[in-house]
Every structure is written in C-alpha cells, then in structure tokens.
Amino acid sequence: MTSPIPASPRVVLRLDRIGRRRAGRVAVQELSLELHAGQVLGLLGVNGAGKSTTLSMIAGALRPDRGDIRLNGEDFLEHPALARTQIGWLPERAPVWAELSVVEHLDAHGRLRGLNGAVLRQAREQVIERLELQPLARRLAGVLSQGQRQRLGLACALLHRPALLVLDEPANALDPVQAAKLRTLIREQAAAGNAVILSTHLLAEVTAVCDRVAILHEGTLRHDGPLSTGDHAALERTFFEIAMNGVVRAA
Amino acid sequence: MSLAAVTRLEWRRLLVRPLAWVLAALTVAWLAWNFTLLLGGFLAGQVQRAAQPDGPGFVDLVGVPLLGQLAQLAFLVVPLLAMSTLAGERRNGTLPLLFAAGVPASRIVLGKYLALLGWLLLWLALALAMPLALAHATHFDWGKLAAATLGLALMLAALAAVGVACSAFASHPALAAAATLMIALALWSVNLGAQLAGVNGGAINWLAMSTHLQPLLRGLVSSADLAWFALLIALALALATRRLDAERERG
C-alpha cells in the first residue's frame, strides 16, 4: 500500500513582475513571488526598500504600474473588488476614523467588506474577544494609544475572515505580551489555511513566526527562501549583506 | 452595498463631529431670530396689504426671504462640512482603507456626497419648519414655497458637490474649505459686472448660479435652470471621482 501523495498547497497570491513608481522614483520593480495557503511570509528590507508599497499593491490600495497580481487564481487588477472579501490589511501605523468608537469602527469595516446584520455582529464579537478589545469597545478610536490602535487595526483586518492577511509592521508599539499574542494569532491564521504576509523591521519577529522570508532592497527582491526555526543568525547575516552590499555573497 | 456602507460611515462621522452640531445650532438660532423679525414685519404691514388683493403674501414676505437667508449661510456651512469628506480621509491615512475594501472611487465620492446632502437637506427641513408651523394660520402659497424649496435644495446639492470635489483635490481640509468658498462666491457673482453694465443675457449670465436660483425663489420652475444645477453637480462629482481614481493609480 502506497501512502497518498500530499496535494501541493493552493496558491493564494501570485505576483508576476509587478512594478510601481512613486514620487518620481522606482519604488518596486520586477517583483515576482507566490504565496501558498497556510504560509507565513516575512517581508524584510531597510527603510525605503519598497515593503509598504508592495503591501499596498497587494492589499488593493494602490495599483501597480506593470505586472499582474492573481488572488486565488483570479486577476486581482481586473477585479479589485476581490480585495473586499479575500484580503485583510493592517496598514503601517493603523489609521483610524478618530470620531468612531471601536465597535462603530468594526461595524464600518464589516459593512465595507460586505458583512451585515447578525453575521456582522457575530464576527465583531469574535474579533473583540480574540483581540481582548472588550474594555475598549465603547472608547473613541481617536483616543486609543498606538498599541491599542494596532490591535483595533488587526481586528478590522481579521473581521471578514480573509484568505490573505497583509500586515505592515503589526508589532509596532505593542508591548511584549501583546507581541507574543500577535505571534500566536499569526500562527493560528496559518494553521487555519490562511496565507499571511508580515512586513517588519524585527528579525526576531520573522524567525519566530514565519516559515519563509523575502528581502527587498531598492525595490527589487534580493532573497526569497524558506526559514527554519533557529535560523536567526543566518537570516541576520543575509539581511545585513543585502542591506550593506545589495547582494548575498557566496559563503 | 458598498455605496450604502460609505454613506452610512460618512453620515455617522458627520453626526458625531461637534462642528456639524455647532453649525446647525448657530445657524438655526440665527434663522429663528430672522424668522421672528420677518414675521413681525409681516404682521405690522398686514392692514396695508389688505387693500391690495394681489399683494405679496406670507410666503413672499416671510418664507422665501427666510430661505434666502439660508442660502447666504450655505456659503459658510457647506465648505466647512464638506472640507473633511475626502481631504480629511487623506490626511488621516484612512482613504487607502476605502480603496483596499474594493470600493470604486465613484461610490466613495457618491457615498460621501449623499451623506453630506442628507445633512444639508435636514438643515433645510429645520428652516422650513418655521414658516410651515404657521401654514394653518395664514393664506399659504404652497406652489411658490415648493419652488423656492426646490431651488434651495438644488443650490445646497450643487454647493455640496463642489465641496466634495474641492476636498478630493485638496491636501488639507482648510484648503478645501477655502477653495469651495471661492468657487461658490465666483459662481454666485460671476455675472455681477455684466448686470451692472445692464447686460441680462449671454454666457456670463448663464454661468452664474444666481441666474438659475432667482426664478425658483420667485416660484418659476424651468427645466433649463434644473439642468444647470444637474450639470454642475454631475461635473463636480465626475471631477472628484477622476481625482480619486488618479490617486489610486498614481499613489
């Protein structure tokens, strides 16, 4: 009796040579990568490497100048409304509508993502509980601390149970306890079969939670490979070589 | 669905913003004071007017002048309320959240416009309630009041569209408010020189908002005037949509 061959995981996201100019300079060029269901990809790079531009394009907030993005096999640029149900995005610094309370904020996000009525209420209660936002539920988003705003932004990103979670510096301003809970949450999402892209400056964050790492430098992908637990030193070496020299030198 | 979500979000933001309430309270108080003055004048001249069978009535001397006062206030109120619709979102960094929810630019613009228009129509209804409160006690020219109300509603709709368009183009809400005020004043008085020179026709007079509002305030509804307002609204909203589309394209 032969053991069944495991099916290769579904490709959730495929970037094909995407590029984007911003403020007169090339922010991202010729970027291609694939992300499978259940995978957590760490996106690294120095400031200005093009991480946030890449994530904004993946999230649908910005259109690439060239290239293709396919989401679950469908052309995302042709059908930007796919972002509505399939992508959850936490932008850098978690912008909020300051006049709305946490609950109103979640409701507004839910409605924008097509949730309504009992489904919306249930989804809202679940993320409030999961992210421990109960004490903040009636508080105005404008008076939350940066760490609390990050948690609210994360709750908004998770509300509609997206297949792809795009997190831009999610651990910013989180205390160590919340940062540890964030790691658990990311692993939970991956275990549930969702794909996660995590952009961060913290190498430890990547080694703790990601199973693959991509390094951007001056808008181009310089490294894309798997990451095993305990690879911190190797990752650090690769990252610094790219950051300083633009390439990884052969050992 | 997404149009309703954007409208609801903007409506909620308008309702919880102190500026909207302060403006409503101050302007309605001002209109109420003017209503009592106009009513006093109407009552004082009632005996003289009894001798003129076709003389001006309650609507001519109280209702329409009150709506005229509201028209003047609109030049201040609309820019202040419209300024944050899109420029405020851009400044807070929340505009990309709407893009990332897959909401087309046209629905973002229309949703925000409808919410603002809803507030302005409520404001108009509050002002109208004053003359309507005396409808049972006087000879009431319903047709003339309806035409004047339609004129005011169209004026508010046009100014709101201009305000949303200015907010789409401006980087800061204060700039949007200033631009809306300038354009509104220009639209109102573009034919002032021609009028002083005794010219009552031509393109310059057609361009002026006052040319199209005055007949409605006198009770004369013409499809040419309605078309002028419809054109201005469509043009302003189309420009705002184009600007948002370009922002999503160019970043």
| Token representation of residue A15 | 């970037």
- Beta pairing, strands A11-22 & A25-36: antiparallel
pLDDT-derived band at A3, boundaries 50, 70, 90:
very low
> Taking CB atoms and an 8 Å cutoff, what residues of chain B touch A87?
100
Phi, psi of A44 (to 5 degrees): -115, 160
User: Which among A61, A80, A114 is the nearest to B96, CB-wise?
Assistant: A61
pLDDT in tens, A87-98: 999 998 899 999
Q: What percent of chain A has pLDDT over 90?
A: 69
pLDDT for res A229: 61
Nearest residue of A to residue B13 by CA position?
A99
- How far apart, in whole angstroms, are the C-alpha atoms of residue A69 and residue A34? 10
pLDDT for res A165: 96
> Taking CB atoms and an 8 Å cutoff, what residues of chain B touch A88?
none
Chain A interface includes B172 (CB < 8 A): no
Residue A32, H or E segment: strand A25-36
Determine whether A192 is exposed, middle or buried from the number of CB atoms within 10 Å of its CB (0-12, 13-18, 19+): exposed
pLDDT-derived band at B1, boundaries 50, 70, 90:
low
The C-alpha of A235 sits at a distance from chain B's nearest C-alpha, in angstroms, of 31
| Token representation of residue B225 | 């005037």
The C-alpha of A171 sits at a distance from chain B's nearest C-alpha, in angstroms, of 19
CB contact under 8 A, A108 and B99: no
CB contact under 8 A, B13 and A99: yes
pLDDT for res A8: 65
> Taking CB atoms and an 8 Å cutoff, what residues of chain A touch B13?
97, 99-100
Residue spans of the domains in chain A: they are 11-245
User: Which among B5, B101, B249 is the nearest to A83, CB-wise?
Assistant: B101
Amino acid found at B82: A
Buried b (16+ CB within 10 A) or exposed e, A204-238: ebbbbbbbbbbbbbbbbbbbbeebeeebeeebeeb
3-class DSSP assignment, residue B245 = helix
Least confident of A159-168, A239-248, B63-72, B186-195: A239-248
Nearest residue of B to residue A153 by CA position?
B97
Amino acid found at A152: L
- How far apart, in whole angstroms, are the C-alpha atoms of residue B192 and residue B199? 10
More confident residue, B201 or B78: B78
> Taking CB atoms and an 8 Å cutoff, what residues of chain B touch A62?
96, 99, 248, 251
CB contact under 8 A, A111 and B5: yes
pLDDT in tens, B230-251: 999 999 999 999 999 999 887 6
pLDDT for res A230: 61
Reported ipTM: the value is 0.88
Chain A interface includes B4 (CB < 8 A): yes
CB contact under 8 A, A98 and B2: no
Determine whether B121 is exposed, middle or buried from the number of CB atoms within 10 Å of its CB (0-12, 13-18, 19+): middle
Least confident of A19-33, A226-240, B59-73, B87-101: A226-240
Average pLDDT over residues B74-99: 95
pLDDT for res B96: 93
| Token representation of residue B51 | 């001798």
User: Which of residues 93 through 112 in chain B touch A, CB cutoff 8 A?
Assistant: 93-94, 96-104
pLDDT in tens, A191-201: 999 999 999 88
B129 C-beta neighbours (distance < 10 Å), count: 12
Chain A interface includes B246 (CB < 8 A): no
User: Which among A20, A60, A104 is the nearest to B100, CB-wise?
Assistant: A60
- How far apart, in whole angstroms, are the C-alpha atoms of residue B66 and residue B123? 13
- Average pLDDT over chain B reads 92
Least confident of A30-34, B202-206, B216-220: B202-206
The radius of gyration of chain A's CA atoms, rounded to the nearest angstrom, is: 18
Look at residue A2 and tell me whether its pLDDT is greater than 50: no
CA distances from A187 to A218, A224, B45, B110 (A): 29, 20, 81, 40
Q: Would you identify the CATH topology of the domain A11-245?
A: Rossmann fold (3.40.50)
User: Which among B12, B94, B100 is the nearest to A83, CB-wise?
Assistant: B100
pLDDT for res A1: 43
DSSP codes of every residue in B150-214? HHHHHHHHHHHHHHHHHHHH-SSHHHHHHHHHHHHHHHHHTTHHHHHTT---HHHHHH-HHHHHH
pLDDT in tens, A102-151: 999 999 999 999 999 999 999 999 999 999 999 999 999 999 999 999 99
Chain A interface includes B19 (CB < 8 A): no
- How far apart, in whole angstroms, are the C-alpha atoms of residue A200 and residue A45? 8
pLDDT-derived band at A55, boundaries 50, 70, 90:
very high
Amino acid found at A38: G
CB contact under 8 A, B94 and A96: yes
B214 C-beta neighbours (distance < 10 Å), count: 14
Q: If interface means Cβ-Cβ distance under 8 Å, which residues of chain A face chain B?
A: 20, 22, 53, 56, 59-63, 80-84, 87, 89, 91, 93, 95-100, 104, 108-109, 111-114
pLDDT for res A225: 87
Of the residues A65, A96, A105, A111, the best mutation for testing chain B's interface (the one with the most B CB atoms within 10 Å of its CB) is A111
CB contact under 8 A, B102 and A80: yes
Nearest residue of B to residue A65 by CA position?
B249
pLDDT for res B201: 74
